[in-house]
Structure 1
């Protein structure tokens, strides 16, 4: 299955890069705060980041990889991470938890379907694009 993982490839080619995830860690596309959505040039930088499912930290570069991973494995990893981070807390109704989970899995799938394996991608709000490779 194609997945998003944290990478150091192309990291540092933009002065706005950051990398706090563990290289190879599975990633998701977290929600953006209002400051970054409305004023990305003055916000916190979350609109440029992919979130680490294990570290719960972020990075601006993700790589598309092929791994021996099932859809059920990814669903469990995302569910566990979002629960640990409080996104799927006990007060959230089950139907809403399922909606959030489905949206996160769809976002990951849309990115991995669109790009080839080994592509390094970056994010600008709701847009994901291939990172230029510099020597």
Structure 2
């Protein structure tokens, strides 16, 4: 299954790049604060970053990898991420939690058209192309 993982590849090519996530950890597009909704180049950086699902730290670059995991595995990882982030069903309600998890799975499914090894960035709800695939992330 194609998924996004944190990478330092391409870091520094654009103003405001940062990578505090762990190289290779699964990442997802995180929530965007009101400040970054108005200007993804300002504020805290969340409008141009991916959230590390293990470290809870962010990066502005991610690489597409084809990993041997099932959709159920990914759902479990996403569920764990949100619970760890303090947004579990006991906090936001079961129905809302399931909606957030399902929406995240849908967001991640949108990378299916991106070739393995491509480095991408983020601008709010859009992926941006950072580099051509170069063999990174291939099994």
Is TM-score (shorter-chain normalized) higher than 0.5?
yes
Aligned match of 1:129:
128
5+ residue gaps in structure 2?
Answer: 133-139
Alignment check: 8 A CA contact 2:20 2:58 kept: yes
Structure 1 segments, 4+ long, off by >4 Å, are none
Query: How many residues in Structure 1 have an aligned counterpart in Structure 2?
Result: 132
**Within 2, Cα distance between the matches of 1:44 and 1:114?**
29
Aligned match of 1:21:
21
Aligned match of 1:119:
118
Larger relative contact order (CA 8 Å, sep ≥ 6): 1
CA shift for structure 1 position 92: 2.0
Aligned match of 1:63:
63
5+ residue gaps in structure 1?
Answer: none
**Within 2, Cα distance between the matches of 1:114 and 1:22?**
25
**Within 2, Cα distance between the matches of 1:4 and 1:102?**
17
Aligned match of 2:135:
none
**How big is each residue's C-alpha offset from its partner over 1:53-93, in whole Å with a ceiling of 9 and x where there is no partner?**
00000000000001111101111111001100012251322
User: Does 47-56 or 8-17 show the bigger shift?
Assistant: 8-17
CA shift for structure 1 position 37: 0.2
Q: Does 2:37 align with 1:37?
A: yes
TM-score by length of 2: 0.90
